[in-house]
């Protein structure tokens, strides 16, 4: 199953989406802020090796009758699911899957002593709605662990295969993981000093990582439940009146069924050291549900990864660039700006001040539509409230969409 925010081109690949609302994209920042040290990787190569090793320790069972299974308490280790052939520990995610299947509240079960939680689950197993399921079992130091319980319709796209396909697709195209500052509570052994090899070409943002700054691992994350990757390409820029814009790629996957395979292409102006993408817009996005034949998700994923990136590059090099250039030449007074956006007068006045204070944002085009778009973006960042920031960003995008690129 495939869904996309982009249209579909005649060749089956996703076409580029129309101009999107500009704002700061925070999804990679959220990962940088919250992922623990053991889920971070310094390179795609390191990530691929680690995830491949996990795959080699894992096995998928055939379809097994759930009513014939039993949940048993394991001293100091929680719960295990068992049948006549053996047992495997339930982790937090697979316990939730099992509980959901019988309509039991997983959060409540986790608060119970192991023997009581096992009794509750065993009461419901004979009434499991889909009576046969496949288990994903991985060897670990604690023993065999059941990481997922899935139906015969599930098409697994292994996280290590996602990384392999990512490497093969982007290897020669200038894509790389942007450097980042040390994450919150980053241990000393995870910190190094940025060299020329670490920093991005052409990066001038005051909050970006520069030579001599401290760095920490970020942008590549993998856990027993999901993976996330952020890559950027600053070797192929798009010229605008206020400076260059670049492409970013965010890719997500879960080999246990916690989420779909998702690849998103983004146009942005700057990436800072905590992986906020500034003045950014999602320009192509595709999502594949893990369903179908054994390798269908991987086959579709590889094709759509290449197609989404190609479509995004074609879109951003033509339509976006022409529209921004036209906006930089179109004069707009304060009264017309307020009428076009529908924003309060105080917000428009703040945007006018931002244009004057930050001429570099719009290439010294104050008083043009592009100047107003950038002034509004600055004014949005000054607001304390998310709802106000969203309204201002939407108004700025609306203003840009009204420009005829001719």
What does the pLDDT profile of the chain (406 residues) look like in tens digits? 444 444 333 333 333 334 445 678 999 999 999 999 999 999 999 999 999 999 999 999 999 999 899 999 987 669 999 999 899 999 999 999 999 989 999 999 999 999 999 999 999 998 887 789 999 999 988 899 999 999 988 999 999 999 999 988 876 577 899 999 999 999 999 999 999 999 988 766 667 899 999 999 999 999 999 999 999 988 877 776 667 788 899 999 999 999 999 999 888 888 989 999 988 888 778 888 988 876 788 888 888 787 777 765 665 555 666 777 888 889 999 999 999 999 999 999 999 998 998 887 788 889 999 889 888 888 877 777 767 777 887 788 788 878 765 4
Decide: 328 and 365 in contact? Cβ < 8 Å: yes
Report the pLDDT value the prediction gives residue 163, as an integer from 0 to 100.
95
For residue 11, the model assigns a pLDDT of 34
This prediction's pTM? 0.76
Alpha-carbon distance of 207 to 215, in angstroms, equals 13
pLDDT on residue 17: 39
Neighbouring CB atoms inside 10 A of 343's CB total: 22
């Amino acid at each position: 199953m495939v869904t996309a925010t982009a249209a579909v081109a005649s060749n089956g690949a996703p076409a580029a989406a129309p101009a999107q609302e500009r704002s700061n994209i925070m999804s990679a920042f959220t990962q940088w802020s919250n992922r623990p040290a053991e889920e971070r990787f310094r390179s795609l190569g390191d990530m691929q090796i680690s995830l491949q090793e996990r795959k080699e320790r894992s096995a998928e069972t055939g379809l097994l009758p759930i009513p014939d299974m039993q949940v048993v308490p394991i001293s100091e280790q929680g719960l295990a699911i068992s049948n006549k052939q053996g047992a495997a520990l339930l982790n937090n995610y697979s316990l939730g899957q099992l509980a959901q299947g019988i309509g039991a509240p997983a959060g409540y079960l986790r608060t119970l002593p192991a023997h009581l939680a096992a009794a509750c689950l065993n009461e419901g197993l004979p009434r499991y709605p889909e009576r046969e399921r496949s288990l994903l079992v991985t060897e670990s130091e604690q023993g065999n662990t059941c990481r997922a319980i899935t139906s015969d319709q599930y098409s697994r796209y292994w996280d290590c295969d996602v990384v392999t396909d990512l490497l093969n697709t982007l290897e020669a195209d200038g894509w790389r993981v942007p450097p980042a500052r040390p994450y919150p509570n980053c241990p000393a052994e995870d910190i190094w000093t940025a060299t020329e090899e670490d920093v991005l070409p052409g990066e001038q943002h005051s909050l970006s990582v520069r030579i001599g700054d401290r760095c920490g691992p970020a942008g590549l994350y993998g856990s027993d439940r999901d993976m996330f990757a952020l890559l950027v390409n600053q070797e192929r820029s798009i010229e605008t009146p206020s400076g260059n814009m670049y492409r970013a790629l965010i890719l997500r996957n879960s080999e246990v069924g916690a989420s779909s395979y998702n690849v998103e292409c983004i146009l942005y102006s700057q990436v800072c050291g905590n992986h906020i993408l500034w003045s950014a817009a999602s320009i192509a996005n595709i999502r594949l549900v893990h369903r179908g034949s054994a390798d269908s998700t991987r086959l579709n994923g590889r094709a759509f990864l290449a197609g989404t990136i190609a479509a995004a590059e074609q879109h951003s090099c033509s339509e976006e660039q022409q529209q921004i250039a036209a906006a930089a030449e179109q004069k707009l007074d304060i009264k017309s700006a307020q009428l076009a956006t529908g924003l309060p007068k105080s917000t428009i006045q703040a945007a006018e001040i931002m244009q004057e204070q930050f001429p570099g944002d719009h290439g010294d085009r104050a008083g043009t539509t592009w100047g107003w778009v950038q002034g509004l973006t600055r004014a949005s960042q000054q607001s304390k409230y998310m709802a106000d920031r969203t309204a201002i960003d939407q108004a700025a995008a609306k203003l840009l969409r009204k420009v005829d690129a001719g």
